[in-house]
Copies of this chain bind each other. A is one copy, B any other.
Amino acid sequence: MLAAAVRLFNTRGYDATSMFDVAESLGITKSTLYHHVSGKEQLLTMAVDRALDGLFEAAEAALREESAATVRLKDLIRRSVLVLADRLEFVTLLLRVRGNTAAEQHALSRRRELDRIVTDLVKQAQAEGGVRADVDPATAARLLFGMVNSLIEWYRPDRGAPESIADTVADLAFDGLRHRA
């Protein structure tokens, strides 16, 4: 049910999707839908929470590792890509939230916390000499996850296994496009 709603939210947009549309796609009436969920915003909240929980688990797992910050950073990227691929539709919805309601504001603040985690990790990796120090860590973190998050715009399960995409992304992030002899 949540999945059906999220699919509609992503294709038509959250505002443009009516509760009637959601109900219809499930073969039930709007009244019945309201018997199961408390309202439209709850569907949104459940969906973005599902996305955020996955991303936080990925981040925490990467941070827990006992390896150099540079290695943990690369792993954070890889794990994030896997979550993106696994919970594609939920993360898609999350990344489109603009913060008009209290629930959306809360989602945005959790996203900012993720941003802080990544920025800190970049900073540590720079300090230990694994990452070039001539880029602002916050800028690097944002560009990095701009690249990762772009997956929601084009990734489809038939375009390769998540693991291989994750490797490509992490590899490209660290070594760049340039050919090396």
Q: Which of A144-181 contact B (CB under 8 A)?
A: 144-151, 153-154, 159-160, 165, 168-169, 171-180
Quick one: which of B149, B171, B172 contacts A150, CB cutoff 8 A?
B149
Q: Which of A120-148 contact B (CB under 8 A)?
A: 122, 125-126, 129-133, 135-136, 139-140, 142-148
A116 at the interface (CB under 8 A from B): no
Given A145-B150, A147-B146, A150-B142, decide whether A100 and B12 contact each other with a Cβ distance below 8 A. Answer: yes
What residues of B have a CB within 8 angstroms of the CB of A16 in the complex? 15, 100
Bound Cα distance from A130 to B178, whole angstroms: 6
Q: Which of A33-84 contact B (CB under 8 A)?
A: none
A179 → B minimal CB distance (Å): 5
A173 → B minimal CB distance (Å): 6
Query: Would you give 19 A-B contacts (Cβ < 8 Å), ordered by A?
Result: A11-B98, A13-B15, A122-B177, A129-B179, A130-B178, A132-B177, A135-B168, A135-B177, A139-B160, A139-B165, A140-B172, A144-B147, A146-B149, A146-B153, A147-B147, A173-B176, A174-B177, A175-B175, A175-B178
Bound Cα distance from A13 to B166, whole angstroms: 31
Are A177 and B144 in contact (CB-based, < 8 A)? yes
When all copies of this chain in the complex are counted, the total is 2
**Closest 10 pairs between A and B when the two form their complex, measured CB to CB:** A146-B150, A176-B176, A15-B15, A147-B147, A175-B176, A132-B179, A174-B178, A174-B176, A142-B154, A146-B147
A106 at the interface (CB under 8 A from B): no
Bound Cα distance from A143 to B151, whole angstroms: 8
Given A149-B150, A174-B176, 17 other A-B residues pairs in contact with their CB atoms under 8 A: A13-B13, A126-B179, A130-B178, A131-B178, A132-B180, A135-B168, A136-B168, A139-B165, A139-B168, A142-B154, A143-B169, A145-B150, A146-B148, A146-B150, A146-B153, A147-B150, A172-B176
